């Protein structure tokens, strides 16, 4: 990044007791993103804390002990110091430590140090965050163009700053109660019989199950809003049969619409100019699962409404949950780039292909997928003006999610529909949840998922979780057990794997009993998890927090990167290393350790503040209850529909109480049926 401003002096000082405020600063002519829903006047004073060159670059001098939180779905820990991150929604399942972009862009950061403040950079195009990467003592943030809005938030502490930010971006999506149950998914359930067999085997194993996911295999040649009637002859009957077993079917919807004559979605989109355009004014052509596709122009209100109404094709067959995928949008290739690449490869392979030619060959093939140059080739119609996609790229998935959410409010006005997406921008949290994208069966991806949770909560995304067991690669029994012991705490609890990988349904493992007990413990914890979720959503708070947010004066707590507070009562500290038989934890206060092999087979121990080594067997769950706190704990049920709140007991410190939030789990507005009681 250019313009390093090496002599910048950032004002320092303790903000405690100072005015709590949010200020809005406008640069250039920003594109309206719809991320912030609160009307605010533009500030007239100079932008505080950050220096700007008025060319889209913002600079901040970092003190040695400054911590930088935020950026939502990104890699490299809770503290983002020391790396360069790029906000550019990107289909990248192979996220190693050198990854800079993932599936979502969430441009909110919170700096904790001599000065503690939050900053939201509301910009829909490519944005770089150099947080001590080029120079450890310098943070530089650069937008591709100087057309953006910057919000600066100050407050009493980190939690207060997040709460204020969450208030201006709107209430987080709240899913139906059944969405907190366990879900089984796989790209590779190719027939109705596959679905029925999964349900049968889970029932035989005695493992609770609330949902089975339909990946792209259920469609007719990967066409949105179609069902392959040879492989799924009667989806409506299948959905009804599953519901009688307490299981909801959740199909996938992709962004690309197959180009095919007499396919209604394609024909209607062309006829009404609902697709993104190329530079010549024709419908832009990319390629994903069906081959050649058009992309709906979700920035057009009419196109959003049209596409959203198509979900009725599936709700009419008994479907009450969806997940949107490939909506960055992912592009496998464009025809002109493919033709150019094939021509170059023909030249390279016509003679002796040495090392340089070989690297050029593999690089060109790999460069087809998600090539950033392809996003300059198509346009959106925004109030009659053609806007290049690359300038608003990060809004695409958000507006696809909005399309479905708003339509489903009309299609199914009497109930909540489960909905989550792969791609997102701040603001999408109002319309649905997200899962953390295609991951791998790597131990490191347990930790990576956990470290994303606080930053996602800061950005409003509460209903989230990762692909338990890993999507790509082959999982192992010990990895699955450890992953379950983490994921059973996240709102979205889904086992998902890719076609061609090892089958990882829990009943396939030798130690199916231990896996089943982990799921049953999840069902025992659902009353607590759902209650804390409602509190976080209704009060604009974080469900998952770094330890330092609750213990700001504890220097050791600020260094902890692999433990989180969950609500106000729990602390989680999962195992995320192969063959580990335990782990070290840091307790910033006295806590109760709970060691659990099943919901009715556990022991507790009071541990004092400080560092502890905690043995954890492969078949047991360990978590911590905070000092003088208790949580509600129920008998596990076969599905969420059979959850019996009359079996609730308190687990934790004697004489502690708990404020329980419940609702009917269905009403579009949970406050219509909200009940608050003290246990």
Active-site residue set: 325, 328, 438
427: left (phi over 0), alpha (psi -120 to 50) or beta: left
Q: CA-CA distance, 270 to 274, in Å (whole number)?
A: 6
Distance CA 432, CA 229 (A): 29
Return the closest-CA partner of residue 381 out of 297, 307, 302, 305.
297
First to last CA, the chain: 55
264 φ, ψ (degrees, to nearest 5): -60, -40
DSSP output for 20-73: PEEEEEEES---------S--PBP-SPPSS-EE-SSSEEEEEPPTT-EEEE-SS
Secondary structure of residue 114 in the 3-state scheme: coil
Q: Within 10 A of 675 (CB to CB), how many other CB atoms are there?
A: 10
CA-to-CA separations, 223 to 39, 220, 289, 633, in angstroms, rounded = 40, 6, 9, 44
Instruction: With residue 184 as reference, give the H or E element that holds it.
Output: strand 182-184
Q: DSSP 3-state assignment of 291?
A: strand
Structure tokens at 486: 């983490």
Return the structure tokens found at 102: 């993932």
What distance in Å separates the CA atoms of residue 161 and residue 586, rounded to the nearest whole number? 26
The set of residues, in sequence order, having a beta carbon less than 8 Å from that of 145 and lying 6+ positions away, is 28, 56, 125, 391
Give SS3 for 473: coil
d(CA 422, CA 290): 19
Q: How far is CA 324 from CA 252, 334, 425, in A?
A: 6, 22, 14
């Amino acid at each position: 990044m250019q313009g390093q401003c090496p002599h910048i002096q950032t004002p320092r000082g303790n903000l405690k007791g100072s005015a709590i405020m949010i200020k809005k600063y406008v640069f250039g002519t920003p594109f309206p993103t719809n991320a912030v829903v609160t009307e605010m006047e533009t500030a007239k004073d100079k932008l505080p804390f950050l220096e700007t060159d008025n060319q889209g670059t913002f600079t901040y001098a970092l003190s040695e002990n400054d911590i930088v939180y935020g950026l939502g779905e990104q890699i490299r820990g809770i503290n983002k110091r020391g790396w360069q991150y790029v906000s550019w929604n990107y289909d990248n399942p192979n996220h190693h430590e050198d990854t800079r972009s993932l599936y979502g862009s969430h441009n909110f950061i919170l700096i904790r140090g001599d000065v503690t403040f939050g900053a939201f950079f509301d910009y829909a195009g490519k944005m770089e965050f150099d947080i001590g990467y080029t120079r450890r003592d310098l943070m530089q943030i650069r937008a591709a163009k100087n057309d953006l809005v910057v919000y600066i938030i100050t407050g009493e502490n980190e939690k207060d700053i997040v709460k204020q930010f969450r208030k201006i971006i709107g209430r987080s999506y709240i899913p139906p109660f059944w969405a907190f149950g366990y879900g089984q998914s796989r790209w590779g359930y190719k027939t109705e019989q596959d679905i029925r067999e999964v349900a049968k085997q889970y029932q035989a194993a005695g493992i609770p199950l609330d949902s089975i996911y339909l990946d792209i295999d259920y469609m007719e040649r990967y066409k949105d809003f179609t069902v392959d009637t040879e492989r799924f002859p009667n989806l409506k009957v299948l959905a009804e049969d599953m519901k009688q077993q307490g299981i909801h079917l959740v199909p996938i919807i992709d962004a690309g619409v197959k180009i095919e004559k007499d396919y209604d979605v394609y024909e209607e989109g062309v006829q009404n100019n609902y697709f993104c355009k190329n530079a010549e004014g024709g419908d832009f052509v990319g390629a994903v699962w069906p081959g050649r596709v058009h992309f709906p122009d979700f920035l057009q209100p009419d196109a959003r409404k049209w596409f959203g109404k198509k979900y009725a094709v599936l709700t009419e067959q008994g479907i009450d949950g969806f997940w949107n995928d490939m909506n960055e949008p992912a592009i496998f290739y464009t025809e002109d780039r493919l033709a150019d690449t094939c021509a170059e490869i023909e030249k390279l392979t016509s003679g002796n292909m040495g090392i340089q030619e070989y690297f050029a060959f593999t690089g060109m093939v790999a460069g087809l997928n998600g090539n950033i140059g392809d996003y300059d080739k198509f346009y959106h119609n925004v109030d009659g003006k053609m806007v290049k996609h690359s300038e608003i790229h990060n809004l695409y998935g958000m507006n696809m999610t909005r399309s479905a959410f708003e339509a489903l409010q009309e299609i199914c006005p009497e109930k909540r529909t489960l909905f989550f997406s792969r791609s997102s921008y701040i603001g999408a949290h109002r319309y649905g949840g997200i899962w953390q994208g295609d991951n791998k069966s790597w131990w490191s991806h347990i930790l990576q998922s956990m470290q994303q949770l606080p930053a996602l909560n800061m950005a409003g995304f509460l209903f989230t979780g990762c692909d338990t067991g890993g999507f790509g690669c082959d999982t192992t029994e010990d990895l699955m057990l450890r992953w379950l012991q983490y994921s059973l705490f996240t709102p979205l609890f889904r086992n998902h794997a890719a076609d061609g990988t090892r089958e990882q349904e829990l009943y396939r493992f030798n130690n199916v009993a231990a896996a089943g007990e982990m799921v049953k413990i999840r069902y025992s914890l659902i009353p607590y998890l759902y209650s804390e979720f409602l509190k976080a959503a209704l009060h604009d708070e974080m469900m998952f927090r770094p330890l330092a947010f609750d213990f700001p004066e504890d220097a050791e707590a600020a260094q902890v990167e692999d433990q989180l507070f969950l609500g106000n009562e729990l602390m989680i500290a999962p195992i995320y290393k192969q063959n580990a038989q335990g782990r070290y934890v840091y307790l910033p206060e006295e806590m109760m350790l709970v060691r659990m092999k099943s919901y009715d087979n556990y022991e507790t121990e009071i541990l004092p503040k400080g560092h502890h080594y905690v043995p954890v067997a492969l078949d047991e769950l360990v978590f911590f209850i905070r000092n003088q706190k208790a949580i509600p704990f129920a008998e596990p049920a076969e599905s969420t529909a059979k959850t019996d709140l009359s079996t609730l007991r308190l687990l934790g410190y004697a004489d502690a109480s708990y404020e329980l939030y419940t609702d009917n789990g269905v009403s579009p507005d949970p406050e219509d049926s909200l009940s608050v009681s003290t246990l």
